[in-house]
Amino acid sequence: MAKGLFKSGMIVSAMTMISRVMGLVRDAVVANLLGAGLAADVFLFANRIPNFLRRLFAEGAFAQAFVPVLSEIKEKHGNDKVRLFVAQAAGTLGTILLIVTILGVIGSPVIAALFGTGWFIDWWQGGENAEKFELAIGLLKFTFPYLFFVSLVALSGAVLNVYNRFAAAAFTPVLLNISIISCAILLHDAFDVSAYALAIGVFVGGLAQLLFQIPFLLRIGMVNKPVFAWRSPEVTKVRKLMLPAMFGVSISQINLLLDTIIASLLVTGSIAWLYYSDRLIEFPLGLFGIGIATVILPALSKLHATEKSEDFQNTLDWGVRFVLFLGFPAMAGLMVISPLIISVLFDHGAFSEGEVDHVKTVSMGVAAYSVGLVSFMLIKVLAPGFYARQDTKTPVKIGIITLVLNMVFNIMLAPFIGYLGLALATSLSASCNAFLLYRKLNQQGVYQFSSFSLWFALKCIVSAILMAVLVYFIAQQYTWQSWSLIEQITLLCALLAVAMVSYFGVLFAFGVRLKTIKEASA
């Protein structure tokens, strides 16, 4: 099975790479248009709230509860029952989402006050940053409906994944990035504040994603008239699994939102610095961690339904090994060359204005987030070990512990090192989350990190360190800060090539072969 997962994982990673590259292009456009000042802070704030809710409810709680139930129905009852279940889930979820979206648009002032506390206080007192709060209200009216569209996209994507149609679902996010980029280019002169053009791009992108997936659902015969079925046994089962899953799988998103709330109380630019830092971390996380998590959940759900516990253990161990294989070099690489990456992507237009060295500031945030990159990836693989067995209560207990730890770390660090404290606190709490997830799986007799994987991880760590030292030494030989964009891109490509050759070369010298990565068992 792992060989099939490897192929599927590569397909998802390839599609995700296209999406992430377009996402970086989108962020470069945003940085060029808005910089890292007031407008950037507010747009990123308005965009983060529906995205947070999307990850929490749709891709987080709903997907993790929906996929195991869907896989079980498919294995035990066949496609006719699956079609009915999908129609019931779509009708029930769609109705609830429509109501929430309408309330969200109408209540945008309340949402802006709740999550942008610092701006609301300033507005209430007539401070100089009161316009941030007013702009946030206006932008939320365009960005909040994205939650409705993308949640239904998550549902249809989950169905496609269960039927091994991974490419279409993985490619879908590209349409959002294309929409935002297009609206930024075509509409930015149509508004006094260019952020409105980006907000419209978010709305259009959500609709485009939903329409894109319908033909693929038609091909597998999974498009039926939605039915509201709140009390259906299968929908009820999903509902019961969803509530605890909200915390278990989306804990990192809750942490990021808490960071946003605290960052609104810090100096102007803090939210933007955190956002751009997080975006660079999201690239390898989405490319490798989420890519493997996407294919491993349906596989684990099927293995649990057919009671193949040994294959379950081996598949989970393979997933952990795979993210370690790619996570360690990504972490080390970002730490040493993030200033050059940031300069290439963002250091243009409005981003370069002002007295603050945004490249240095964001790169420090990247380093703080990089500390937890491997942990972020491990969470994406370990959490499905619970959800595939329809155990959503254990992750929520771990999630609550991690939330408390994150706030403690925030309080300890943010007063002294500002936004860097928020990023570092997120990384530390993610590491605790990953450890607690593994310990519980081990205690339940579900998964134990194999000795083979331990040695493999040590080889990856040593290879990543040697790679980072070599790349850092080479980068220090050049004063690229004064170079043109083309020259910087050339150097970046060369450093990435050196990183790949050195990392895989050392691993090869250690005896690691492609077969080691593909197979689930040692």
pLDDT tens track for 39-89 = 777 887 788 777 777 766 655 667 777 888 888 888 888 788 889 999 998
Extended beta strands in 238-331, E state: none
pLDDT digits (tens, 9 = 90+) for 322-341: 889 989 999 999 999 888 88
The terminus-to-terminus CA distance of the chain in angstroms comes to: 14
* Residue with more model confidence, 208 or 417: 208
Instruction: Give the pLDDT score at 493.
Output: 92
Pair 301, 508: CB distance under 8 Å: no
Most confident of the following: 158-167, 172-181, 189-198: 172-181
Least confident of 74-78, 128-132, 150-154, 349-353: 349-353
Are 193 and 175 spatial neighbours (Cβ–Cβ below 8 Å)? Answer: no
Which is it for the CA torsion 183, 188, 194, 200, positive or negative? negative
* pLDDT of 351 over the 60 cut: no
The DSSP 8-state label assigned to residue 357 in this structure reads -
Q: Are 334 and 322 in contact (CB under 8 A)?
A: no
Alpha-carbon span 261 to 284, nearest angstrom: 25
Q: What is the mean pLDDT of residues 401-426?
A: 87
420 — pLDDT class (breaks 50, 70, 90): confident
For residues 467 and 335, is the Cβ–Cβ distance under 8 A?
A: no
Q: How far apart are CA 359 and CA 342, in angstroms?
A: 6
* 3-state secondary structure string across 433-498: HHHHHHHHHHHCCCCCCCHHHHHHHHHHHHHHHHHHHHHHHHHCCCCHHHCCHHHHHHHHHHHHHH
Among the residue ranges 277-281, 319-323, 482-486, the one predicted with the least confidence is: 277-281
Task: Write the single-letter amino acid at 6.
Answer: F
Enumerate residues 6+ apart whose C-beta is below 8 A from 134.
123
Per-residue pLDDT, 48:
76
Q: What is the pLDDT of residue 522?
A: 43
Distance separating alpha carbons of residues 394 and 441, to the nearest angstrom: 10
| pLDDT more than 90, % of the chain | 24
* pLDDT number for residue 4: 61
Half-sphere exposure of 141 (CA within 13 A, CB side): 7
Share of the chain above pLDDT 70, in %: 89
CA distance linking residue 74 with residue 396, whole number of Å: 27
**Which pLDDT does position 106 carry in this prediction?**
93
Tell me, what's the pLDDT at 521?
46
Q: Examine the pLDDT at 355 and tell me if it is beyond 60.
A: no
pLDDT of residue 508: 92
- Whether pLDDT at 357 is above 80: no
247 with 393: CB under 8 angstroms?
no
The sign of the torsion formed by the CA atoms of 52, 58, 60, 62 equals positive
One-letter identity of residue 510:
F
What is the predicted pLDDT for the residue at 439? 95
Contact 350, 342 (CB under 8 A): no
Q: Using CA atoms, how far apart are residues 174 and 202, in angstroms rounded to an integer?
A: 12
Does position 520 have pLDDT exceeding 70, yes or no? no
Q: Write out the two tokens for 190.
A: 């149509």
Query: Which stretch of 228-232, 317-321, 348-352, 378-382 has the lowest confidence by average pLDDT?
Result: 348-352
Rounded to whole angstroms, the Cα distance separating 290 from 60 reads: 12
- Mean pLDDT estimate for the chain: 83
Higher-confidence residue: 50 or 357?
A: 50
SS3 128: coil
Instruction: Give me the count of residues in the chain.
Output: 522
Residue 261: is its pLDDT beyond 70? yes
Distance (Å) of CA 208 to CA 60, 153, 220? 21, 10, 20
- The more confidently predicted of residues 43 and 149 is 149
- What is the model's pLDDT at position 281? 84
Query: What is the predicted pLDDT for the residue at 76?
Result: 81
Question: Which one is predicted more confidently, 306 or 460?
Answer: 460
pLDDT score of 374 more than 80: yes
For residue 351, the SS3 value is helix
| Predicted confidence (pLDDT) at residue 238 exceeds the cutoff of 80 | yes
Q: What are phi and psi of 222, to 5 degrees?
A: -115, 25
**For residue range 242-259, what is the model confidence (pLDDT) as tens digits?**
777 666 555 656 666 677
Averaged pLDDT for residues 299-319: 82
Distance from C-alpha of 22 to C-alpha of 348, rounded to nearest angstrom = 17
Range from 105-119, 192-206, 270-284 carrying the lowest mean pLDDT: 270-284
- What Rg do the C-alpha atoms of the chain give, in angstroms? 22
